[in-house]
Amino acid sequence: MPAGVLRPVLSRALPMTSAAFLADAQSERTLLRAVLALGLGGFSIGTGEFVIMGLLPEVARDIGTSIPQAGHAISAYALGVVVGAPVLAALAAGWRRRVLLMALMAFYAIGNIASALAPDYLSLLGLRLLTGLPHGTYFGVAALVAAALAPPGQRARAVGLVMLGLTGATLVGVPIAAWLGQHFGWRAAFVFVGLIAAAAVLMIRLWVPDMAAAQGASPMRELGALRRRQVWFTLGIAAIGFGGMFCVFSYVKPTLTEVAGLSVGRVPLVLALFGVGMVAGNLVGARLADRALMPTIGGILAYAAVVLAAFSVTAHHPVAASINILLVGTLVAIGPALQIRLMDVAGDAQTLAAALNHSAFNMANALGAWLGGVAIDAGLGWTSTGWVGALLALAGLALFAAAVADGRRMSRGARLA
């Protein structure tokens, strides 16, 4: 995204309430450049994560398997994120932020180029798992850098701007990669992703400040986050409540073509609508989170249950299904809110907590894609993904209610003590 386009977005998303910050043009320029560089990395990751969902029929044909089985490549990538986020965040806790971000993005570039060369089903699964390893730690560290550069009280909006690269990928990167995949083979899409990741390495080197890790950071201190109940509650909300979006979107192409009767050529347009929804949801959700964090999380989960259930009905009508896919994209609004919630409840284990947010989201990716495939293989039809997704959102809402109740008990105990 060019700086001239991003600057007004940045100004609206991060209103300069601090007089000192307004007076320091260099600080604004530093934040702008850092967001652009970090966002390009997110753009690469977002394109690599989501493009395969629109190319499952092509992948399945090329490697000689069924569409639901090809969907296991989505789950393999997500599993890589789930494993990689806590492991890499803990092991690299003492690394300087810029060096770590460059290393993670270089690994991502290599992983995608290798995925494009996968000769068969099993090698593709293994390579997608490896490619997912740096995903969560990259976004976690990028969020910490953005939050450190942001004006006080506007952390969620700063995180949302970094995530704009991820959500913007679904609007621009995924349709382009899907077009490449349809005309030059699905492997071309992964080459495209790898090249963007390589460009991000250079931009991070040039534009992201050379920030040190937190004083006293160590693997053991980071792992201390796992002793906190509220951390586990927040991760559970993300892993289960957000799974519905992936349940629907993982099988969006065959659903649109076989149920709604949409032509294959129009599918990229619907993917772009999904991207519009993600961008809008990300920006609005970040602003709401800065105003009222917990009500935003609960409200989005309830909204998700309605939107996902509706897809089982609207999937039979091309226009209604397309609008519904746009609304499914807006569910990403919960991302910045959960990121900030994890930072708030993790104490001094900030790196691991920030990375685990994306580990949980990709657990949602794996869970949603798997449960959607189970429902389809069981003969419930492509539209069953909407009902499965709605149930996941309701389960996330139940976890949210339990987290609120636990937080109140902890507060009462602290007052009595």
Spatial distance between the Cα atoms of 124 and 76, rounded to a whole number of angstroms: 9
pLDDT of 331: 95
- Give the pLDDT band of residue 13 (cuts 50, 70, 90): low
- Give the pLDDT band of residue 354 (cuts 50, 70, 90): confident
Spatial distance between the Cα atoms of 110 and 183, rounded to a whole number of angstroms: 23
Closest by Cα among 311, 254, 236, 313 to 277: 311
Pick the residue with more confidence: 176 or 220? Answer: 176
Does residue 17 register a pLDDT over 60?
Answer: no
Closest by Cα among 176, 376, 357, 407 to 259: 376
% of residues, the chain, pLDDT over 90: 42
- Give the pLDDT band of residue 6 (cuts 50, 70, 90): low
The backbone torsions φ and ψ at residue 383, rounded to the nearest 5 degrees and listed phi first, read -75, -10
pLDDT of 123: 94
Per-residue pLDDT averaged across 87-93, rounded?
Answer: 87
Residue 332 · residue 245 · CB < 8 Å: yes
Enter the CATH code of domain 26-416: 1.20.1250.20
pLDDT single digits (tens) 139-171: 989 988 988 887 767 778 878 888 888 888 878
- DSSP state string for 168-214: HIIIIIHHHHHHHHHHH-HHHHHHHHHHHHHHHHHHHHHHS--PPPP
In a 13 Å sphere around the CA of 18, the CA atoms on its Cβ side amount to 13
Residue 36 · residue 204 · CB < 8 Å: no
pLDDT single digits (tens) 72-85: 888 888 888 888 98
- Tokens 């619907």 appear where? 270
pLDDT single digits (tens) 277-307: 988 998 899 889 888 899 999 999 999 999 9
Per-residue pLDDT averaged across 315-326, rounded?
Answer: 93
Does residue 53 register a pLDDT over 90?
Answer: no
pLDDT of 26: 63
The backbone torsions φ and ψ at residue 346, rounded to the nearest 5 degrees and listed phi first, read -90, -5
Instruction: Identify the weakest region by mean pLDDT among 14-23, 119-128, 228-237, 309-318.
Output: 14-23
pLDDT of 290: 84
Would the pTM of this model clear 0.75, i.e. be above it?
yes
Token pair of 373 as six digits? 């495939």
pLDDT of 19: 42
Closest by Cα among 268, 270, 383 to 318: 270
CB crowding 6-38: b at 16 or more within 10 Å, else e = beeebeebbebeeeebeeeeebbeebbbbbbbb
- Which residues 6+ apart lie within 8 Å of 19 measured at CB? none
Per-residue pLDDT averaged across 347-361, rounded?
Answer: 80
Does residue 342 register a pLDDT over 80?
Answer: yes
Helix, strand, coil percentages for the chain (3-state, nearest 5):
85, 0, 15
Pick the residue with more confidence: 201 or 54? Answer: 201
CA distances to 50, 51, 187, 194, 278 from 180, rounded to whole Å, are 14, 10, 9, 14, 22
pLDDT of 415: 66
Q: What is the mean pLDDT of the chain?
A: 85
Does residue 356 register a pLDDT over 90?
Answer: no
Spatial distance between the Cα atoms of 146 and 141, rounded to a whole number of angstroms: 9
Annotated domain spans of the chain: 26-416
Give me the amino acid identity at 29.
Answer: R
Spatial distance between the Cα atoms of 203 and 375, rounded to a whole number of angstroms: 43
